[in-house]
Amino acid sequence: MEGEIGLLEGLKWIKSLNYSQVIFEMDAKGVVDALDILEFGHIISECVDILSSEPYFQASSKKFITREEWEKRLSNIKVRKEDMNKLVMNFLVTEGYVEAAEKFRLESGTGLEFKNAWIPYWKIADIYLATITDRMAVKKAVQNGNVEDAIEKVNDLNPEILDTNPQLFFHLQQQRLIELIRHGKVEEALEFAQEELAPRGEENQGFLEELERTVALLAFEDVANCPIGELLDISQRLKTASEVNAAILISQSHEKDPKLPGLLKMLMWAQNQLGGKATYPRINNLSTAALEDPAV
C-alpha cells in the first residue's frame, strides 16, 4: 500500500511542477506490474489516469542504469590482453592478411591455434603462415575471374577438397560459366553448360535450378541490367571465393570463420535481450565502440 501511495503522490507533485521526462524507480515490482494490467485498486487506477493524461509520462517496468553505474560494472570485467591478441591473430589468419599477421606475431608474441594445437609464436612462420599465402592465391584467382587457375591451385593444395565437396565444385564450375557469359563467349558457354554442368543438374535439383538461372543470362541483351544481373556482379565472385576459402580452412583443421565477427554479433544480440529488461548505455556503432546514453 505504501508503494502505491508514494507513486501517486510523486506523480501529482511532478505534474504540479510541469516537469517532463522524469524517471521513477521503485522496488515494489507489484506496483509497477499493476500499471500494465486492467484490474487494480483505486490508487493504482488514479496513477494510471495521470500517466495516460500526460504525453511525457510513461510507465515502464524496465530498470534504468546510469552511465556511471554501467561504466563501473564494465570496469569490473577483466579481459586478458593475451585473449584479445588471440582474437586479433585469429581474424588476421582466417581472413588471410599474411603481412599483418606476421607483424602482429612479432610485435605481440601471439601464437596460433592450428590443427587443435596451440603453436608458440616463434614457430608460426614455418608451420602456418606459408599456407595463408597459398590459400589467398586461390581466393584472389576466383575474385579475378580466373576460375580454372583457382581449381588447379585448390587441387595442388589438397585434391580431396573438391572430390569430397560436390557443391563447392559445382559453384566453381558455375562461376566459370558466368565468366564465359561475361566475356560474350556464347557458344563456348552453352557447350560448357551442357557438358560440365547439365549432368550434375540431373543428379541434384538444386544444381539444376542454379544452372537454369545462370544460363538464362544468355536470353538478355543487356545482361548487366536484367533481373538476374547480380550473377555478373563482383559480389558473386566474392561469394564463391569465400566458399572456397572456407573449404580450404576446414581441410586444414581451422575454423572457417573468424571468431571476432561472431562475438560482435553475440554482443548485439545480448544488448537487445538486455534492452527488453533495462534501459542502459549501449554500443550502437561497433567501429567506435562508444557508449551511447539511453533515450529518456
- CA of 107: how far to CAs of 86, 102, 103, in Å? 13, 9, 6
Alpha carbons 90 and 173: distance in angstroms, whole number? 30
Hey, what's the cell of 244?
572456397
Successive 10-residue mean pLDDT values, the chain, 296 residues:
59 66 55 47 61 55 84 90 88 84 83 60 57 88 96 93 95 96 93 94 93 92 84 94 92 83 91 88 89 78
Residues 6+ away with beta carbon under 8 Å from 88: 104, 108, 110, 260
Contact (Cβ atoms closer than 8 angstroms) between residue 215 and residue 191: no
3-state secondary structure the chain: CHHHHHHHHHHHHHHHHCCCCCCCCCCCHHHHHHCCCCCCCHHHHHHHHHHHHCCCCCCCCCEECCHHHHHHHHHCCCCCHHHHHHHHHHHHHHHCCHHHHHHHHHHHCCCEEECCEEECHHHHHHHHHHHHHHHHHHHHHHHCCCHHHHHHHHHHHCCHHHHCCHHHHHHHHHHHHHHHHHCCCHHHHHHHHHHHHHHHHHHCHHHHHHHHHHHHHHHCCCHHHCCCHHHHCHHHHHHHHHHHHHHHHHHCCCCCCCHHHHHHHHHHHHHHHHHCCEECCEECCCCCCCEECCCC
| pLDDT value, residue 129 | 67
| pLDDT value, residue 37 | 46
Q: Which of 218, 220, 168, 162 is nearest to 193 (CA)?
A: 218
| pLDDT value, residue 31 | 47
Could you tell me the residue ranges of all domains in the chain? 2-61, 71-79+260-292, 144-257
Q: Which of 140, 150, 194 is nearest to 171 (CA)?
A: 150
Hey, what's the cell of 176?
566459370
